[in-house]
Amino acid sequence: MYAGQKIQIYPNKTMQKQLQDWFHYARFCYNKALDLRNQRYKDGLSTSYYDINNAMKVDKPLWQDSTKRYSSNVFDKAVKNMDQAWKNYFNYFNKLKLAKEGKGKYPGNKVGKPRFKSRRLHSTQCTIYRKNDYSIKITSRISKTGKKSSWLHVVNGFYDIKMAEPLAQSGKIKEVTLSRRASKWFASFSIELEDGWELPFKLDPSTVVGIDANKMHFDISRTDDKYKNSTVSQPVKKLEVLYRKIQHYDKLISRKRNQSTYNFRAPSNKYNAVRIKRQRAFYKIQCIQDDFLHKFTTDICEHYSTIGIETLDSSNMAKTKIGKKIYRSLFYRFRMQLTYKSKIYGNNLVKASKWFPSTQLCSECGYRRVKEEKLDTTQRVYHCPQCGAIINRDYNAALNLEMYAAGDITHDW
């Protein structure tokens, strides 16, 4: 089993420059491999990963800058990423072809052909994989004041990088992705857990919960000491302040672009300062959302063995008038986190179809509203015309998802 962890790192100025060179080098190798692959395909030659890798290594003295120190590890991983991008495209295309013939299900998100990466947008990360016991390792140091800290050693011959915290899991590090965002540096680890790893607790198999995803909040079907209210909301006030800041920064950037039309490729220092402020605001928003989602999904996986959720088509929902709120409601990230955490904790994640009428069913008697009786988005209370039950619309949907996950609702819409 594999686990991942993202940790902030503090490289010195020399390593910051070196990491930025590796980021540009990874992007350049990816584009070079993609161009070579396209050319070999036109010439009828082999386009496998090993043939392209070997062909690039032969001509490496011609295109690689000999005045800078690069890692062959970065080169190999960049070419591997290009090859994997083509495999993802062909897998999507084959699944789509089978689905049109009625031989399978339609694939999820659309995957297009690999494209060249721009210097301005895609020079922010690189991945280094484990070649031997000395390529990636973490050491501990004790300062003069007695404070213990963790340091990351990536490639021989370069400075170690201080980490904000040690790894939470013990195991073999398979690869590490170094990245930069909003003037901050990060290391994302892929860790192979040791054999015999088990959770420190066991789940009660009789516990079932349903979760209904809504705009900026989630509704759960169980209320206890942890969730006295069925609604769990995002920190909306903090997010709204940051969204207003981003709106202000967008206006400033737009004005500065208009003022420097002829010199856009060399923006001023004030332009860069506003751009960095905007990046930091986006980073804070992501940190707040990730903190909320991780705490919520982890708590759900630790307390309930069976979890029922809806498979919402967020891409089409975002095309409506409330598209901005749909994007901020984290539907996809919520489902993604529950999916991988349920595998780690051993939960049974039941995903209802997007056609499941969770809001139109009565959780008391099972009556379904159809045609003219259907509730629209403005009606927040469910009135059952059959049994007379009056219940909150979102809480009623969460109860229906719980019954669907438990098997009490067997109809497949």
Q: What is the pLDDT of residues 298-340, one digit of tens each?
A: 999 988 999 999 888 777 777 777 778 888 888 889 999 999 8
Residues contacting residue 398 through CB under 8 Å, at least 6 positions apart? 210, 211, 212, 219, 220, 221, 230, 358
Residue 362 Rama label (left phi>0; alpha psi -120 to 50; beta) = beta
Domain residue ranges in the chain = 2-193, 208-232+287-406
SS3 218: strand
Q: Does residue 22 have a pLDDT over 90?
A: yes
pLDDT of residue 289: 94
On whether the CB atoms of residues 234 and 217 are closer than 8 A, the answer is yes
Residue 66 phi/psi, 5° resolution?
-80, -10
Q: How far apart are the first and last CA of the chain?
A: 35
Q: How many helices (H) and strands (E) does the chain have?
A: 10, 14
Q: Does residue 226 have a pLDDT over 70?
A: no
β-pairing, 161-163 vs 171-181, is unpaired
Q: Token digits for 301?
A: 């996986």
Q: Which of 97-101, 148-152, 221-225, 336-340 is predicted least confidently?
A: 221-225
Torsion over CA: 235, 236, 241, 242 (sign):
positive
% of the chain residues with pLDDT over 70: 94
- Sort 119 into a burial class: Cβ within 10 Å, 0-12 / 13-18 / 19+: exposed
Q: Token digits for 323?
A: 């598209």
CA-wise closest residue to 211 among 228, 223, 199: 223
SS3 367: coil
How many Å apart are CA 59 and CA 56, to the nearest integer?
A: 5
Torsion over CA: 319, 354, 329, 358 (sign):
positive
User: Between the CA of residue 207 and those of 276, 300, 308, 344, what are the distances in Å?
Assistant: 46, 11, 11, 17
User: Between the CA of residue 130 and those of 49, 51, 154, 170, 399, what are the distances in Å?
Assistant: 19, 22, 9, 16, 47
- For the segment 221-245, the average pLDDT, to the nearest whole number, is 83
Q: Does residue 164 have a pLDDT over 90?
A: yes
- What beta strand segments (E) does 304-347 contain? 306-310
Output Rg (C-alpha) for the chain, integer angstroms. 26
pLDDT of residue 214: 87
Q: Does residue 39 have a pLDDT over 80?
A: yes
How many Å apart are CA 218 and CA 209, to the nearest integer?
A: 12
Q: Does residue 126 have a pLDDT over 60?
A: yes
Please indicate whether residue 182 or residue 319 has the higher confidence score (pLDDT).
Answer: 182
Q: Does residue 343 have a pLDDT over 90?
A: no
State which H helix or E strand residue 236 sits in: helix 236-259
pLDDT of residue 158: 84
Strand partners for 43: none
208-232+287-406: CATH topology is: Nucleotidyltransferase; domain 5 (3.30.420)
pLDDT of residue 68: 81
- For the segment 110-121, the average pLDDT, to the nearest whole number, is 88
β-pairing, 306-310 vs 348-352, is parallel
Q: Does residue 72 have a pLDDT over 80?
A: yes
State which H helix or E strand residue 352 sits in: strand 348-352
How many Å apart are CA 335 and CA 385, to the nearest integer?
A: 33
pLDDT of residue 321: 77
CA angle 330, 239, 300 (to 5 degrees): 45
How many Å apart are CA 120 and CA 72, to the nearest integer?
A: 23
- Which residue type sits at 40? R
Q: Which residue has the tokens 């332009």?
A: 271
How many Å apart are CA 74 and CA 187, to the nearest integer?
A: 14
- Sort 290 into a burial class: Cβ within 10 Å, 0-12 / 13-18 / 19+: middle
